[in-house]
A = this chain, B = another copy of it.
Amino acid sequence: MIDVAAAAGVSKMTASRALRGSKDVSTESKDRVIAAAKKIGYFGNHLAASLSSARSDLVGVIVPSLTNIVFPQVMSGISDGLLGTGFQPAFGVTDYNLYREYELVGRMLSWRPAGMIITGMEQSDQTRKLLIEADIPIVQIMDTDGDAIDYVVGFSHQSAGAEMAEALFGAGRTRFGYIGCNLENDLRAKKRKQGFFDVLKRYDIAITTQLGGILSSVSEGRRLTQELLEQTPDLDCIYFSNDDVAFGGLCYCIEAGIAVPNSVALAGFNGLGLLEGFPGLIATSTTQRHDIGRASAGIITQSLQSPEQLKSRKLVMQPTINLGALQT
């Protein structure tokens, strides 16, 4: 930067101001500095800038997984929401491991990010402590069931499960099955299951359950559905932990010649594009993944620039239920 300043015939400080677009610089010097910087091929050192100003333009983003397409979609929304604001996302993956989450939060905070976006409401006490003490805007996303640290953008998975149960029961289904994967780790899927079961219990309806392994996939859904339907052929409805698994179930039914949804209705969660392979055959709750990402990015930038304009600490973006062919 000293070189740039020298080339432009001004002091280091004026160069710094010009490069950052401060308005307390004459147009003349500004132009000269910018020209000099371009000529020399100067690009700054965020390290030094952030150290000196005690804040960086990074926004830390923590997601549990990359293999579930839902999280990249949220990240994509965050990326879009941050574009042109001068902030940059920095993504980290926990693999649903609370200790890795703690370490990751620590590492990210040591970069002095401007804000943090973290998935879910279930952080360990240590992690919460770190986040609170960081004294930067924190947004918890994708869930609203639990204690907020600061801001929250998402929806209640418990309610989502409950509403799907009501909808399927309302459509006349009575003999229910449930298929889920990775429920030990994926606490949000577990909450949906809970909401679903609670409602049906109220109607005195029992549910046959088939649980799978860690891999929440089409292939696992296919396998589990075959097992469940061979054991319990008289089911007229199956709720799955998500759309991937549900779609696997649909593939099995199609191959086995089982009429969906007439003979057995299938319901998933998320509203993935994948479902458009067979439009309307799977009922689902469509979630606004991209918008949740955008909104959380917006909250970070707003709370940094004009916090008073933020109306609420909690933004609920409820999923919409789409019953498809079941809707009659």
Contacts and interface: CB of A to CB of B under 8 A. Distances in A.
Interface of A: 41, 43-48, 50-51, 56, 66-67, 69, 71-73, 75-76, 79, 88-93, 106-107, 109-112, 130, 133, 217-219, 222, 247-248, 250-251, 254-255, 273-274, 276-279
B217 A111 contact: no
Given A219-B276, A254-B254, 19 more contacts: A46-B110, A47-B50, A51-B51, A66-B76, A67-B72, A67-B76, A69-B69, A69-B72, A71-B72, A79-B93, A88-B107, A217-B276, A218-B274, A218-B276, A219-B273, A222-B276, A247-B277, A250-B277, A251-B278
Contact of A73 (B43, B66, B92, B218): B66
Contacts of A133: 41
Contacts of A278: 251, 255
A260 to B, nearest CB: 12
A76 B93 contact: yes
Nearest to A252: B277
Contacts of A276: 217-219, 222, 248
- Closest 6 A/B residue pairs (Cβ): A219-B276, A251-B277, A66-B72, A66-B76, A47-B51, A72-B72
A110 B43 contact: yes
A43 B106 contact: yes
B218 A47 contact: no
Contacts of A51: 45, 47-48, 51
Given A247-B277, A277-B222, A277-B248, A109 B67 contact: no
Contacts of A56: 47
Nearest to A109: B43
Nearest to A217: B273
A79 B65 CA distance: 11
Contacts of A79: 66, 93
Nearest to A51: B47
A249 B111 CA distance: 47
A47 B274 contact: no
A216 to B, nearest CB: 10
Nearest to A277: B251
A323 to B, nearest CB: 19
A244 to B, nearest CB: 8
Among A69, A106, A276, the most chain B Cβ lie within 10 Å of the Cβ of A276
Contacts of A279: 219
Looking at A46, A69, A254, A279, the one whose CB has the most chain B CB atoms below 10 A away is A46
